[in-house]
Amino acid sequence: MTMWERLRNPCGWRAGAKQISVDAMIPIFAVPTLAVIAAQTVLCTIIIFVATPILVYYLHHNFLRFLLRTKFFLMWTITSVVMLMLIFEISVVPLLEILLEENLVFIMCVVGGIWCGYMTRLNADSATHEGSLTQGLELGEGSGDLCITCRRRAPPKAHHCRMCQTCILNREYHCKWLDCCIGSSNLRWYLGCLFFSAIAFIYGSNLTMTSVCHPFILIGTVLLPDDCSDVYHQLDIALCFISALYSLLVGIVVVCYLIYHLWLIYLGTTSNERRLLEAGSPYDHGMLKNVSRLFCCKT
């Protein structure tokens, strides 16, 4: 807490010094450092990709879970996107293995994902602000069920979020990686963010791997990486390969959550409602449930 109080930006703000939280600063230095370490050898790559989730879980379990609105995961998202974009445009594109049209499609998907993510947060903040304006309502006013936390009546299918400190209509969960609640006000933007992000991560990963590895032709002009055994001979090429591998893993996770939400829409329910039903189930999901809560959302 002493370090937290010391970290301030004394200039560049109209309202004076701004406090910089320690948890928000960690990803800015950790993500690039881990990428450089992973780019040294194959063994380093395996160690970093296995140890990083364990390290993040340790930080969350012992420190971050005590912070109500930690910026750690949001800054991890921003740092990762910026790092992957810089590596792609500065190191991969100059290899002259990527067509201009392919680069434009990739950039459009990245911009689409960033814009939808921004709108997701913007609409979530608007919904939270609108909910906070009604916090002063007397008990019994309004319609719907009484929220024992807000002490006010919320509309049907609204659930309380302890991070946002208000009730969210058709609440899915509080997404750590965007640091906002997902509900009826921003679900469409969130799905758009997942869609464009999935394309950007997987497509960018394929473009990078086929540029730094020996590719083979799958169908027509579709290329897939074949032999990547010599990527560690140069640090910049190895860093491109690591970013492609990281992007591929993230893209697969994003695709899974996109399919999951489309399935929920098909069923006409939300993840929060399913969680409440599972809470009354005699079956315990154990470690898998805890890991999913850590790396996607807070309930």
For the chain, how many helices (H) and strands (E)?
Answer: 9, 11
At residue 171, the pLDDT reads 80
Task: Tell me what the pLDDT averaged over the chain comes to.
Answer: 80
Q: Please report whether residue 77 resides in a domain.
A: yes
Query: Whose CA is closest to 188, among 267, 122, 252?
Result: 122
Instruction: State the pLDDT confidence band at 162, using cuts at 50, 70 and 90.
Output: confident
Spell out the long-range contacts of 61-69 with Cβ–Cβ below 8 A and sequence spacing 24 or more.
63/23, 64/23, 67/21, 67/23, 68/162, 68/163, 69/163, 69/179
Q: Answer yes or no: is pLDDT of 191 > 90.
A: yes
Q: Please report whether residue 11 resides in a domain.
A: no
Contact 166, 131 (CB under 8 A): yes
Q: Answer yes or no: is pLDDT of 156 > 70.
A: no
Q: Answer yes or no: is pLDDT of 138 > 50.
A: no
Q: Please report whether residue 7 resides in a domain.
A: no
Instruction: Take residue 245 and report the two structure tokens written for it.
Output: 């591998």
Which of the listed ranges 39-48, 67-76, 213-222, 284-293 does the model predict with the highest average pLDDT? 39-48
Q: Answer yes or no: is pLDDT of 288 > 50.
A: no
Tens-digit pLDDT profile for residues 64-77: 777 777 889 999 99
Cα angle for residues 73, 30, 8 (degrees, 5° grid): 75
At residue 82, the pLDDT reads 95
**Torsion angle (degrees, nearest 10) of CA 256, 260, 265, 270:** -130
The mean pLDDT of 124-129, rounded to a whole number, is: 69
Length of the chain: 299
Q: Which residue has the higher pLDDT, 112 or 221?
A: 112
Count of domains for the chain: 1
Of the chain, the percentage scoring pLDDT greater than 70 comes to 74
Q: Which residue has the higher pLDDT, 297 or 228?
A: 228
Cα angle for residues 275, 170, 295 (degrees, 5° grid): 50
The residue range of the domain holding 53 is 23-134+158-295
SS (HEC) of 45-82 = HHHHHHHHHHHHHHHHHHCHHHCCCCCHHHHHHHHHHH
Q: Residue 185 CA to chain centroid, in angstroms?
A: 19
At residue 35, the pLDDT reads 94
Q: How far apart are the C-alpha atoms of 87 and 155, rounded to whole Å? A: 47
Q: How far apart are the C-alpha atoms of 61 and 65, rounded to whole Å? A: 6
Instruction: Take residue 247 and report the two structure tokens written for it.
Output: 């992007």
Q: Answer yes or no: is pLDDT of 30 > 70.
A: yes
Q: Please report whether residue 147 resides in a domain.
A: no
At residue 248, the pLDDT reads 95
Tens-digit pLDDT profile for residues 203-213: 999 999 998 98
Q: Answer yes or no: is pLDDT of 137 > 50.
A: no
Instruction: Take residue 74 and report the two structure tokens written for it.
Output: 């949001």
At residue 296, the pLDDT reads 54
Q: Please report whether residue 86 resides in a domain.
A: yes
Other C-beta atoms lying within 10 Å of the C-beta of residue 135: 12
Q: How far apart are the C-alpha atoms of 206 and 224, rounded to whole Å? A: 7
pTM of the model: 0.81
The mean pLDDT of 69-92, rounded to a whole number, is: 92
Q: Answer yes or no: is pLDDT of 3 > 80.
A: no
Q: Answer yes or no: is pLDDT of 52 > 60.
A: yes
Q: How far apart are the C-alpha atoms of 4 and 10, rounded to whole Å? A: 14
